[in-house]
Structure formats: C-alpha cells, structure tokens
Amino acid sequence: NAGVTQTPKFQVLKTGQSMTLQCAQDMNHNSMYWYRQDPGMGLRLIYYSASEGTTDKGEVPNGYNVSRLNKREFSLRLESAAPSQTSVYFCASMSGVEVVNEQFFGPGTRLTVL
Amino acid sequence: AQSVAQPEDQVNVAEGNPLTVKCTYSVSGNPYLFWYVQYPNRGLQFLLKYITGDNLVKGSYGFEAEFNKSQTSFHLKKPSALVSDSALYFCAVRDSKGGYQKVTFGIGTKLQVIP
C-alpha cells in the first residue's frame, strides 16, 4: 500500500516551459487535491476533484490545469511556467463525500522556475 | 469564508516540558478541525481531528487538542515534548456548511524542542 505517490520529486524549468506533475493514490479515495506550499503562506488549494470525472478551481488556479484521469490519478499541468510558480506542490486524497475524513498527502514535488 | 490563524511562527520548548501550539478559526457553520505535522522534506501527516463530542481529542504520538467553541480555538498540546517532535505543525478547518469538503490550512507553526 503505497498511499499517495507523486512524480517527479524535483524539477527545474525555464520560464515558458510546460510540464505535468503526476499523482496517484491506491486507497480508493474519491476526492483528490493539489496544493502549493510557500514560505509564510501555508498550503493553498490549486484545484480539487471531488470525484472521478469532476474538477473544480481552488484558491489559486491561475496558470494551472488539471485532469482526473481515473479514480486513482490526478495530474497538474503548467502550460507556461513562470518564476511565481516556484513552489513545493503536494497532492492529497481523501475518502468519502459525506463523512469528515482526514487527507493523505504525497511526498511533494519541488519545482523551480528560472 | 472560513479561515485559520496560527499566531506563532515558531514555538521553542525544552525537552520534557509541556508544549502548546495555538490555533484559532472562523467558520459560518460548525467547525471540523484538524492538526497535521510536516517533517523536513516530507508531506503532511494527520495527527488528530475534532468533529463533534468531547472537547479534548487525543491523537497520534501522544498529542491532544482542546476544542473551545467560545474562544474559537483548537490548541495542540503534549504533556512532555520530545526532540523528535520538532517539525512544522498545521491547523486546518472545514466548515460544516462547505459543499465540497474544502479545507483551509493555517500558515504553520515551527516547533523546536531543545535538548
């Protein structure tokens, strides 16, 4: 049981380049989330998917797109990277819809945009 | 809108002493409250949660948290700190009136336990 996995662990991009961050969970969770973590700002929600086939914007969605490929996988795409997107990105998942459950987090992807 | 405040950027405590990490929240409905811990270069790990019932919630690694509705607080506590407790701690809240399980995190408090 791997939990939530993310690839890659580290990435350096040049301004304007694109990339996709991959996330997968093996816990059969319905909900999946993408956060970014910046010093002094905590975790901010980028996008979330309440269930397979649905995605919605979070607090800071500009410059990002997401795909809920299936129940297991939720990817985050940067179409044209900017230095302001330098951050640590975390994927999380959570079971259930009506019950109040905790989130399970992946190990993170450290992204630097030059 | 829901929000969480962690008023201390850093808390220093001597090993063996009790520790408290503070958290206050604001929601329009009833709060669902969480504490997570983050060790260096790792993802967040769940410690404990309050949904309803007893105001004192016990969680992993000997941590507990006290829910105080009148003060809108959910402080994290431990009777005797260990050096291995040194980490970044996040408080989080979900509003019972939220329609999509949106969780708002605080900015985090760095706990430093001094040997």
Q: B100 and A4: CB-CB below 8 Å?
A: no
Q: Which of B52, B88, B101 to mutate to test the interface with A (most CBs of A within 10 A)?
A: B101
pLDDT over 90 percentage in chain B: 78
Residue B100: pLDDT above 60?
A: no
Minimal CA separation from A38 to chain B, in Å: 9
pLDDT in tens, B18-30: 999 999 999 888 8
Contact A42 B107 (CB under 8 A): yes
Q: Which two tokens stand for residue A51?
A: 């269930």
Mean pLDDT computed over B53-74: 95
pLDDT averaged over every residue in chain A? 92
Residue B99 has a pLDDT of 57
Name the pairing type of β-strands A10-13 and A19-25. Answer: unpaired
* Contact assessment for residue B29 and residue B96, using Cβ atoms and an 8 Å cutoff: yes
- Cβ neighbors of B51 (< 8 A, separation 6 or more) are A100, B32
By percentage, how much of chain A surpasses pLDDT 70?
96
Distance from CA of B21 to the nearest CA of A (A): 15
Rounded alpha-carbon distances, angstroms, from residue A21 to A95, A105, A108, B24, B29: 22, 14, 10, 33, 35
Here the tokens at position B114 are: 């001094």
**pLDDT-derived band at A97, boundaries 50, 70, 90:** low
**Residue of chain A whose Cα is closest to the Cα of B41:** A107
CA distance B18 to chain A (A): 25
CB half-sphere exposure, B34, CA atoms < 13 A: 22
**B11: enclosing H helix or E strand:** strand B10-14
- Tell me how many residue pairs between chain A and chain B have CB atoms under 8 A apart: 52
Whether B98 shows a pLDDT value over 90: the answer reads no
A66-93: average pLDDT? 96
If pLDDT is split at 50, 70 and 90, which confidence band does A107 have? very high
Report whether pLDDT(A96) > 80. Answer: no
Report the pLDDT value the prediction gives residue A87, as an integer from 0 to 100.
97
Residues of chain B with C-beta less than 8 angstroms from the C-beta of A103: 44, 46, 103
Average pLDDT estimate for B69-85: 97
- Please compute the mean of the pLDDT values over residues B90-94 and round it to a whole number: 93
Residue A90: which of B43, B101, B102 has the nearest Cβ? B43
Partners of B46 on chain A (C-beta within 8 Å) are 102-104
